[in-house]
Amino acid sequence: MLNDVNIYQKNKQDGAKKRASSFWTTKKNQKKSLMSDAADMYIDYLINTKNSSPKTIENYQFWIWKAIEYFNDPYIEDIKLIDILQYRKDLAKRELSKKTINYYIIALRSFFKFLLKHDIDCISPEKIEIAKIPRTPVNFLTEDEISVLLTMPQRHTNDPLLRARDEVILHILYGSGLRVSELIWLKRDQYIIWEKQFSIVGKWWKLRSVFFRKEALEKLNKYLVWREDDYDPLIISLSKNSYGHSLSRNTIEAIVKKYANLAGIEKKVTPHTLRHTYATMLLKNWADIRSVQALLGHSSIVTTQIYTHVDDKFLKHVHDLLD
C-alpha cells in the first residue's frame, strides 16, 4: 500500500493547492462541489491547520482518493448514506479485513466532518457507522523470553557495529516503549551521552519524555563509539547501498523477527510486541496506569487499560487496596 500511497501523494497533493482556491470560489458562487476539489482542501487542511503527521496525510489521501475513484468523482451533495453502505460492501468483496475497511470509512467520516464545519452541504458523518471489531488479546513476551531475546545479537552476529546496532534496537524498543516510527525518527543530536531522559515528538506530534534503562544506555553508548560517521539518524542502515540512511519499518520488523526466531520464541514477535511487553512489565511491577499512559504516549486512558487484563495480579493488587 505504501507504493500506492506515494503515487497518490505525488499525483494528487501536487495539484491540491492549485485547485484549492477554485473550491472556495465554487462554494462562494453556490455551485455544487466536486468531491476531488473538496478532498484537495481537506488534505491542505490536514497539512497546514491540523499539522497532521506525514503518515496520517499519506493514508488519508490514499483512502479518500480511493473513494473518489469508486464514486467517479461525484458532487459532494449527491453522495448519500446508501452509497457509503454499498462502498463498504464492495470493499468487503475485495477480502479486506473489517479493521482495514474501518480505516477507509473513518477517513470519509473525518472528511465529511470537515465539510460540515465549513458549511458544505453533505451527509451527516454521525450516521456513518464504524464496524465493531473484537479486541484482540495483547501479545507480549514473558520475562524469560525477553531476557533470551536481548542476548541474541551478541550470540549470533559477528560484525561489531551491526551487533551493537541490533542490540540497541531491541533494548530501546523494549526498555523505553517507543513505537517503531518513533525509533526511526530519532536523531543523533537528540541524545545526550549518559542522559537517561530525553524528549521526542510522537504520534499526533505530541511531545513526551522517554526514559532509557541503564542497560539500554550502555548499549547505546557502545554503539555510538563504533559509529565513525556523522549521519543524522540515531539508528542507521549499514547496507552498502543505503549506508547512513534511516532504517525502514520493514527492516526493523525483520530484525526483531530474526532474533525472535533465533531465540526459539514460537509466538509472533514484532516491534509492537516489545512495546506491549514494556507496558505489561511496568504494570506487573505496580506502576500506576496514568504513568504508563504518559510513558506510552496514549491519548486516552482506555487504550492503556488493555494492559490491565493481561495479568490478574494487577487487578488483585488494585482490589486489595480496599482491605
CB 235 within 8 Å of CB 271? no
Q: Does residue 275 have an active-site annotation?
A: yes
Containing structural domain, residue 238 = 143-318
Where a domain ends, among 78, 97, 127? 127
Q: Does residue 135 have an active-site annotation?
A: no
Q: Does residue 118 have an active-site annotation?
A: no
Whether residue 91 is found in the same domain as residue 35: yes
pLDDT digits (tens, 9 = 90+) for 9-40: 544 455 555 555 555 555 555 578 899 999 99
pLDDT digits (tens, 9 = 90+) for 189-203: 877 766 788 777 767
Whether residue 115 is found in the same domain as residue 168: no
Whether residue 122 is found in the same domain as residue 149: no
Q: Which of 27, 109, 165, 298 is catalytic?
A: 298
Calpha distance 146→181 (Å, rounded): 21
Whether residue 199 is found in the same domain as residue 253: yes
The verdict on residue 138 lying in a domain is no
The verdict on residue 133 lying in a domain is no
Q: Which of 50, 203, 222, 284 is catalytic?
A: 203
Q: 82 is written with which cell numbers?
A: 446508501
DSSP three-state, residue 49: coil
The verdict on residue 132 lying in a domain is no
pLDDT digits (tens, 9 = 90+) for 256-281: 999 999 999 999 999 999 999 999 88
pLDDT, mean of residues 47-67: 91
State the pLDDT confidence band at 8, using cuts at 50, 70 and 90: very low
Q: Which of 179, 223, 259, 276 is catalytic?
A: 179
CATH of the domain at 95: 1.10.150.130
State the pLDDT confidence band at 5, using cuts at 50, 70 and 90: very low
DSSP H stretches of helix in the chain:
2-8, 16-28, 35-48, 54-71, 81-93, 98-117, 143-156, 160-176, 180-185, 214-226, 249-262, 271-284, 289-296, 301-304, 312-320
Tell whether the model's pLDDT for residue 307 goes beyond 90: no
Torsion of CA 35, 36, 38, 44, to 10 degrees: 150
CB 64 within 8 Å of CB 111? yes
Whether residue 170 is found in the same domain as residue 305: yes
Whether residue 273 is found in the same domain as residue 201: yes
Of 250, 255, 256, 252, residue with least CA distance to 269:
256
The verdict on residue 136 lying in a domain is no
Domains in the chain, number: 2
Whether residue 28 is found in the same domain as residue 106: yes
Q: Which long-range contacts (CB under 8 A, 24 or more apart) does 81-88 make?
A: 81/123, 81/127, 81/128, 84/108, 84/123, 84/128
Q: 275 is written with which cell numbers?
A: 512495546
The verdict on residue 171 lying in a domain is yes
Q: Does residue 80 have an active-site annotation?
A: no
Whether residue 62 is found in the same domain as residue 153: no
CATH of the domain at 306: 1.10.443.10
Whether residue 195 is found in the same domain as residue 116: no
Q: Does residue 99 have an active-site annotation?
A: no
Whether residue 156 is found in the same domain as residue 210: yes
Q: Which of 98, 113, 272, 284 is catalytic?
A: 272
Q: Which of 12, 171, 275, 276 is catalytic?
A: 275
Where a domain ends, among 95, 127, 159? 127
Of 18, 56, 58, residue with least CA distance to 37:
18
Q: Using alpha carbons only, what angle is made at residue 45 by residues 123 and 15, rounded to the nearest 5 degrees?
A: 100
Count other C-beta atoms under 10 Å from residue 15's C-beta. Answer: 11
In this structure, what DSSP letter does residue 213 have?
Answer: -
Whether residue 72 is found in the same domain as residue 106: yes
Of 141, 134, 154, 148, residue with least CA distance to 270:
141
- Residue 4, pLDDT score: 46
The verdict on residue 137 lying in a domain is no
CB 174 within 8 Å of CB 223? no
State the pLDDT confidence band at 227, using cuts at 50, 70 and 90: very high
Average pLDDT of the chain is 85
What Rg, from alpha-carbon coordinates, does the chain have?
A: 23
The verdict on residue 182 lying in a domain is yes
Where a domain ends, among 83, 101, 127? 127
Q: Does residue 203 have an active-site annotation?
A: yes
The verdict on residue 307 lying in a domain is yes
Whether residue 109 is found in the same domain as residue 153: no
State the pLDDT confidence band at 96, using cuts at 50, 70 and 90: very high
